[in-house]
Chains A and B, each alone.
Chain A
């Protein structure tokens, strides 16, 4: 999901393990007469019990680009594996969304291809021809604007862009313009290069909104970072939990669910969401059309969108992310209220980028970002 190219070796090692470990489970197309790779809902395949049985028979699920400290994925993978006795191969946890798509294009036809993807919206909408349509049991709880009509991609969890900071080092932050002050010397970081990573692009967009810009043009945001750089407060180091712990990046623009004290491992880590710049963003799930483990892929979706207390939606919530069924679960009472109350409060009307706005922002950044901050 996020970008990182330095873990190529890890990925390679994971692939080697995969090659050694699951050469036998490559066909998986028929179990009990049902071809799960074309089934569009559990009911259409004969019900949940059939799906579970078929998935167990496949025995393996390939997931890709799911860092353990990202939206509680470490726990989610462990719980899924324990509940159904299915081995989960986590391929290249730090890949970007674009690399996920490349992986399935290159590995389809082998047992190494990822079965399910968790991708940013730009990639999701551009790659629908590679995805299998599927509707989870809780399909009606997902707002229509957050899924493709036939379920080729379905938004899964999201959050708001936030500023996390070390509260023992800095006073309480109440506006972005404070960050231009002297005490923030080389302190402010993004999560990656905004021409490359979603989280970083949205970080710039949040600054844009806070500076009075609209979602249609990201120019004011780029200008803010230009001022930040001129003040000597922007650090080019990509923020990770490690750099936060080391103190190299004490102020970080990132999704609120990645900016929690638990994720960065600092008890004095505080989060601030500017009232005039509440920028939301969702990721989306998709099933690889040529998934080597089609039933397990569909069972994974059912697990992720389950409203059960131990289901994926509440697990994401416990990781600080806002699950896509949150509204429906609030009204039917299945939401984990303690976890919901722990989310950073949001005021003002949230902004969500349309695909056109996101593309325009990326195009503008491609031409102007490096110039503005070098």
Chain B
């Protein structure tokens, strides 16, 4: 019951308000114009941009993070390295926004001397995805490590005793075991990138590439383009995007976890 009240107040209520306002005019009254304004090539490219950025950064983050988590898990469970990795990942997973963008600028920007003056990392989506990976990988380590820890060494031994190769083990034992957790973690990374705002704004802010940037425009434009309801419509679009994703994830999860039943 407390949980229900909590989700009601902090999740369902705001979501409901956003969707409700998406169908209203700034002056009041019901309208479809905010929603139909989503179907322009400019807005479509924003959703495509968001999707690309999230897909690239979450896929790269999930794969790299899972490998790192596996490496950490196969080390000494009480070792110093493991503790440093876990603590470091916990911190770095929250390392985003202005600080991350500035760290990048200072580390590989044209004046750092570390890297040549490459402009490709300003390219969308690959350049910014590279930056996102810096907080995606540690987040993956944090959320995926418990799943890897739960894999018992005995299962591997059993597989080997039955004559299974490394490939066999991962294909028939380890892979299916970890797949649901991996997919869940990757979804979390996707949503994490979808809602990220400060990093991309601090990095490149002269064009809106992704939906959150455009929501920003609709809220703070000083050249006369403020329209809160349009922002709500864009947010509704993002909600729909997450719902579709969650449905896909749910179906995939059910398929991946068939062996559990």
Q: Enumerate chain A interface residues (CB-CB to B < 8 A).
A: 1, 3, 5-6, 95-99, 102, 119-120, 122-123, 126, 185-186, 189-190, 192-198, 200-201, 232, 235-238, 243, 246-248, 358-359, 361-363, 365-367, 369-371, 373-374
Which residues of chain B are near A200, meaning CB under 8 Å? 206
B119 and A185 contact, CB distance less than 8 A = yes
Which of B111, B205, B219, B224 lies at the interface centre, i.e. has the most chain A CB atoms within 10 A of its CB?
B224
A238 to chain B: closest residue by CB:
B205
Q: A5 — which chain B residues lie within 8 A by C-beta? A: 197-198, 201, 216, 220
What's the Cα separation between A3 and B221 when bound, in Å?
8
Pairwise interchain contact A189-B223, C-beta atoms closer than 8 A:
no
| Contacts of B89-107 to chain A: CB distance below 8 A | 97-98, 105-106
The answer to whether A366 and B222 touch across the interface, beta carbons within 8 angstroms, is: no
Q: Count A/B pairs, Cβ under 8 Å.
A: 131
Q: Is B205 touching A236 in the complex (CB atoms < 8 A)?
A: yes
Residue contact B119 to A192, C-beta cutoff 8 Å:
no
What are 23 pairs between A and B in contact, CB < 8 Å? A5-B201, A5-B216, A6-B98, A95-B220, A96-B220, A126-B224, A193-B205, A195-B225, A196-B222, A196-B225, A236-B204, A237-B205, A238-B206, A243-B105, A246-B111, A248-B105, A248-B109, A362-B224, A367-B40, A370-B45, A370-B46, A370-B208, A370-B209
- The distance in angstroms between the C-alpha atoms of A132 and B259, with both chains bound, is 70
Cβ-based interface call for B217 (8 A)? yes
Q: Does B124 contact A (CB under 8 A)?
A: yes
Contact: A197 with B124, CB < 8 Å?
A: no
Q: Can you name the residue of chain B whose Cβ is closest to the Cβ of A360? A: B224
* CA gap between A371 and B222 in the complex, in Å: 21
Q: How far is the CB of B4 from chain A (nearest CB, A)?
A: 30
Which B residues, 189 to 209, have Cβ-Cβ distances below 8 Å to chain A?
A: 197-198, 201-209
A197 in complex: contacting residue of B110, B119, B223, B226, CB < 8 Å? B223
Residue B117 interfacial (CB < 8 Å): yes
- A residues less than 8 Å from B122 (CB atoms): 186, 235-237
Cβ of B166 under 8 Å from chain A: no
A98 touches B202 (CB 8 A): no
- B207, B223, B224, B225: the one contacting A370 at CB < 8 Å is B207
**Contact: B105 with A196, CB < 8 Å?**
no
4 nearest A-B pairs in the assembled complex, by CB-CB distance: A236-B204, A97-B222, A186-B119, A122-B224
Partner of A246, one of B97, B105, B205, B223: B105
Is A232 a contact of B205 with CB atoms below 8 Å? no
Q: Which residue of B lies closest to A232 (CB)?
A: B119
- B interface residues (Cβ-Cβ under 8 A, vs A): 40-42, 45-46, 97-98, 105-106, 109-111, 117, 119, 122, 124, 197-198, 201-209, 213, 216-217, 219-226
User: In the complex, are the beta carbons of B42 and A247 less than 8 A apart?
Assistant: no
Please judge, given known A-B contacts A196-B220, A198-B223, whether A374 and B207 are in contact too, CB under 8 Å. Answer: yes
Contact A120 B109 (CB under 8 A): no
With CB as the reference atom, state the residue of chain A lying closest to B209.
Answer: A374
10 further interface pairs, Cβ-Cβ under 8 Å (given A5-B197, A246-B111, A362-B225): A95-B220, A96-B222, A120-B222, A192-B205, A196-B223, A236-B207, A237-B122, A246-B105, A370-B207, A374-B207
Question: With a CB–CB cut-off of 8 A, which chain A residues contact B224?
Answer: 122-123, 126, 358-359, 362
B42 touches A196 (CB 8 A): no
Q: Tell me whether A123 and B222 are in contact (CB under 8 A).
A: yes
Measured CB to CB, the nearest residue on chain B to A243 is B105
Whole-angstrom CA separation of A366 from B41 in the bound complex: 11
Q: Which residues of A contact B221 (CB under 8 A)?
A: 3, 96, 98, 195-196, 362
Complex: A126 Cα to B207 Cα, angstroms: 25
Known contacts A195-B217, A246-B111, A371-B41: A122-B204 contact under CB 8 Å: no
B222 with A197: CB separation less than 8 A: yes
Q: Are A119 and B207 in contact (CB under 8 A)?
A: no
Q: Which of A232, A237, A370 contacts B203 (CB 8 A)?
A: A237
Kindly provide the distance from the CB of B216 to the nearest chain A CB, expressed in whole angstroms: 6
How many whole Å from A96's CB to the nearest CB in chain B?
4
Which of B105, B106, B198, B206 is the one whose CB lies under 8 Å from A193? B206
Report B-chain residues with C-beta under 8 Å of the C-beta of A194. 206, 223
Is the beta-carbon distance between B209 and A98 smaller than 8 angstroms? no
For the complex formed, measure the closest distance between the CB of B40 and the CB atoms of chain A, giving whole angstroms. Answer: 7
**Measured between alpha carbons, how far is A1 from B111 in the docked complex, in Å?**
29
Who on chain A is nearest to B222 by CB? A97
Q: Are B204 and A237 in contact (CB under 8 A)?
A: yes
